[in-house]
Chains A and B, each alone.
Chain A
Amino acid sequence: MSSPLYSIRNLTVEYKTRTGPARAVDDISLDIMRGEILGLVGESGCGKSTLGKALMRLHTGPARITAGELWFNDENLMELSSRRMRQLRGSKLGMVFQDPMTSLNPVQRVVDHLTETMLTHEPEWTKKAARERAEELVERLGILPERIDDYPHQMSGGMRQRVMISLAIALNCDLVIADEPTTSLDVIVEAKFLDLLKELQRDFNLTILLITHNIGVVAEVADRVAVMYAGKLAEVGDTFEVFAAPQHPYTQGLLRSVPNIKLDGAELYKMEGTPPNLLHPPSGCRFHPRCPNVMDICSVQEPGFDPLHPGDPHRVACWLYEEQPVKVVGDV
Chain B
Amino acid sequence: MSAQEPEVEEKQQWEEELARVGLVRRLLRARRWYGADWWFVAISGVMVLGFLIVAFLPGLFARYAPDQQVGPRFLAPGAHPAVPILVAASGSGLVNLEDLAVGPDAEVSRPKVAVVRGLPTAGALRERAQVIDDQLQVTGDLRLRPSIERYDTLDEALQAVADGDVVAAVVGSDLFDADAAKFPTLAAGNDITGEQAAAGGFLLGTNQIGQDLFSRLVWGTRVALLIGFASAGVALVAGVPLGLIAGYAGGKLDRLLTLLMDSLYAFPGLILAIAITAVLGPSILNVIVAIAVLYVPTYYRIVRGQTLSVKEDVYVEAAQSIGATSGSILRRYIYPNVIPSISIIFSVNIADAILTGAGLSFLGLGLPPNTADWGIDVARGQEFIQSAWWLVTFPGLAIMMVVLAFTMMGEGLTEILNPKLRDR
Residues of A within 8 A of B (CB): 56, 58, 61, 86-91, 93-95, 97-99, 102-108, 112-113, 116-117, 120-121, 164, 167-168
Total A-B residue contacts, Cβ distance less than 8 Å: 71
In the complex, are the beta carbons of A97 and B320 less than 8 A apart?
Answer: no
In the complex, are the beta carbons of A116 and B314 less than 8 A apart?
Answer: no
Chain A residues with Cβ under 8 A from B321's Cβ?
Answer: 56, 58, 89-90, 93-95, 97
A108 to B329 Cα, complex, angstroms: 12
Chain B residues with Cβ under 8 A from A61's Cβ?
Answer: 250
Residues of B within 8 A of A (CB): 250, 313-315, 317-325, 328, 332-333, 336-337
A91 to B324 Cα, complex, angstroms: 11
Shortest CB distance B52–A (Å): 29
Shortest CB distance B263–A (Å): 26
Chain B residues with Cβ under 8 A from A116's Cβ?
Answer: 319, 322, 324, 328, 332
In the complex, are the beta carbons of B314 and A120 less than 8 A apart?
Answer: no
In the complex, are the beta carbons of A102 and B313 less than 8 A apart?
Answer: yes
In the complex, are the beta carbons of A117 and B318 less than 8 A apart?
Answer: no
Chain B residues with Cβ under 8 A from A91's Cβ?
Answer: 323
Chain A residues with Cβ under 8 A from B323's Cβ?
Answer: 86-91, 117, 120-121
Which of B321, B333, B337 has the most CB atoms of chain A within a 10 A radius of its CB?
B321
In the complex, are the beta carbons of A106 and B337 less than 8 A apart?
Answer: yes
Residue of A nearest to B316 (CB): A105
A248 to B337 Cα, complex, angstroms: 47
Chain A residues with Cβ under 8 A from B318's Cβ?
Answer: 95, 97, 103-104, 164, 167
In the complex, are the beta carbons of B322 and A102 less than 8 A apart?
Answer: no
Q: CB < 8 Å: which of B250, B315, B320, B333 contacts A102?
A: B315
In the complex, are the beta carbons of B315 and A106 less than 8 A apart?
Answer: yes
Chain B residues with Cβ under 8 A from A89's Cβ?
Answer: 320-323
Residue of A nearest to B340 (CB): A107
Chain A residues with Cβ under 8 A from B328's Cβ?
Answer: 116, 120
The 7 A-B pairs with the shortest beta carbon distances in the complex, nearest first, are A90-B323, A90-B322, A95-B321, A89-B323, A107-B336, A103-B314, A117-B322
Between-chain CB contacts (< 8 Å), 13 pairs: A89-B322, A90-B322, A90-B324, A97-B314, A97-B317, A99-B314, A102-B313, A105-B332, A105-B333, A106-B315, A108-B333, A117-B323, A120-B328
Shortest CB distance A148–B (Å): 16
Chain B residues with Cβ under 8 A from A164's Cβ?
Answer: 318
Residue of A nearest to B333 (CB): A105
A105 to B334 Cα, complex, angstroms: 9
A102 to B315 Cα, complex, angstroms: 6
Residue of A nearest to B318 (CB): A103
Chain B residues with Cβ under 8 A from A58's Cβ?
Answer: 317, 320-321
